[in-house]
Amino acid sequence: MSERRTLKFVHLASTAWFMLCIGHIFVLALRQAGVRWWVIFSLSGHSALLIFLLVSLYLFAIFRGVGRGQKIEAEHPLTSTNYYLVFYIATPFLGGLAGCLGMIGEHRIGQFLLGIALGTLGTTFLVWVIVDPVTGLLEMLLPPASRKHRAERLAQAKAEREEKQKARERLLTEVLADEELARRDWQQVLKPQAEKLAGLLIRYPILLIGAEPTAARQNDSKMGTITNRIDIKQAEREAVDIGVKAWQSGGLSCMRQLRDMAIDLCRQKSQSKAIADYIPVWWDGIGSWRNPSLS
């Protein structure tokens, strides 16, 4: 664990050194172009957050890759070793050292620092962008053992995906079969409740009409209207009780099946396809049942 922490720390330091060299080259180029310092500071201030985010994202991706477990040794016999990993993450420092050696004899501090920065940039670009990808590609293509292992690994991964897909399909088939079996069982159990609910659907509009006061019944007794209103409340309570029992028996699926059965019975009894469906209103709020017109 300490070895991995050391590698992460070294990579963090090398990346910071690399960014510092890039910043030095950028600032020097702007100064040579005649840009004033206050403009450079303004640009660096606005871009500091973006650079920080990009570097953080890069370090997060690299830190997850620091470790031998991220590469398969059989396919990457060179780049999966600790020696290559140390060389990879220390590349900016090696580039700075090469630039320092190349500038031996230069007495101007500015040119000396520029040589170090250019050495860091050139070496890091060469290793990270060109050498490392090419080396990894050659590792997988040239040795027969690497190609064989990669082909076997990909075939095994494909077989595992196919097996998982088949397992999901089997599970879905079992769920659908269980649901169909439950529907058949409910068909017999819910038949009396469906007949009762169908009777309520047929009678409910008549009760509503009888409960509405009209000018023609102004001189009549109000007892009939009151009785019809009481019957409406009773019918609604009976419908709610049926819905609660259906919810307790099988949840939302059971309630939907009971509703469909009641609607079919209503059409058979009334010989009409135009059926006033009050069930969504009656059952609104029972379990997870919701009235579509109110949602």
Residues 10 and 122 placed together within one structural domain of the fold = yes
Residues 126 and 230 placed together within one structural domain of the fold = no
Q: Which of 107, 142, 177 is the last residue of a domain?
A: 142
- The answer to whether residue 148 sits within a structural domain is no
Residues 209 and 126 placed together within one structural domain of the fold = no
Distance, in Å, from the CA atom of 206 to the CA atom of 197, rounded to the nearest integer, reads 15
Q: Which of 121, 142, 163 is the last residue of a domain?
A: 142
Q: Helix crossing, 191-211 with 144-189: angle to 10°?
A: 60
**Residue 260 scores a pLDDT above 80:** yes
Q: Tell me what percent of the residues of the chain surpass a pLDDT of 90.
A: 1
Of the ranges 7-21, 140-154, 164-178, which one carries the lowest mean pLDDT score?
140-154
Of residues 224 and 5, which shows the higher confidence score? 5
Q: Which of 276, 287, 274, 289 is nearest to 200 (CA)?
A: 276
Upper half-sphere CA count for residue 40 (Cβ side, 13 Å): 15
Residues 132 and 8 placed together within one structural domain of the fold = yes
> 58-82: per-residue pLDDT in tens?
555 455 444 444 456 666 667 777 7
Residue 215: the pLDDT is 43
**Residue 212 scores a pLDDT above 50:** yes
- The answer to whether residue 270 sits within a structural domain is yes
Residues 35 and 107 placed together within one structural domain of the fold = yes
Inter-residue contact 197 to 237 (CB < 8 Å):
no
Residues 114 and 24 placed together within one structural domain of the fold = yes
Query: What integer best gives the mean pLDDT of the chain?
Result: 75
| pTM confidence score | 0.43
Mean pLDDT computed over 154-167:
85
Question: If you ran DSSP here, which 8-state letter would residue 222 be given?
Answer: S
Residue 73: the pLDDT is 63
- The answer to whether residue 101 sits within a structural domain is yes
Max avg pLDDT among 8-17, 75-84, 242-251, 286-295: 242-251
> 169-204: per-residue pLDDT in tens?
989 888 888 777 777 777 778 888 888 888 888 887
Of the ranges 18-32, 112-126, 144-158, which one carries the lowest mean pLDDT score?
144-158
Distance, in Å, from the CA atom of 96 to the CA atom of 275, rounded to the nearest integer, reads 85
Residues 8 and 106 placed together within one structural domain of the fold = yes
Residues 121 and 213 placed together within one structural domain of the fold = no
Q: How many domains does the chain have?
A: 2
Mean pLDDT computed over 211-218:
48
Mean pLDDT computed over 98-104:
87
**Amino acid identity for residue 253 in this structure:** S
Residues 123 and 244 placed together within one structural domain of the fold = no
Mean pLDDT computed over 8-36:
77
Of the ranges 12-16, 55-59, 76-80, which one carries the lowest mean pLDDT score?
55-59
- The answer to whether residue 238 sits within a structural domain is yes
Taking CB atoms within 8 Å and a gap of at least 24, the contacts of 193-196 are 193/242, 193/245, 193/246, 193/258, 194/258, 194/261, 194/262, 194/265, 195/262, 195/265, 196/238, 196/242
- The answer to whether residue 29 sits within a structural domain is yes
Helices vs strands, H then E, count in the chain: 10, 0
**Residue 216 scores a pLDDT above 50:** no
- The answer to whether residue 272 sits within a structural domain is yes
For residue 58, give its domain range.
2-142
Residues 39 and 136 placed together within one structural domain of the fold = yes
Residues 21 and 113 placed together within one structural domain of the fold = yes
**Residue 115 scores a pLDDT above 80:** yes
Distance, in Å, from the CA atom of 249 to the CA atom of 65, rounded to the nearest integer, reads 53
Q: Which of 142, 169, 200 is the last residue of a domain?
A: 142
Residues 112 and 243 placed together within one structural domain of the fold = no
- The answer to whether residue 174 sits within a structural domain is no
- The answer to whether residue 250 sits within a structural domain is yes
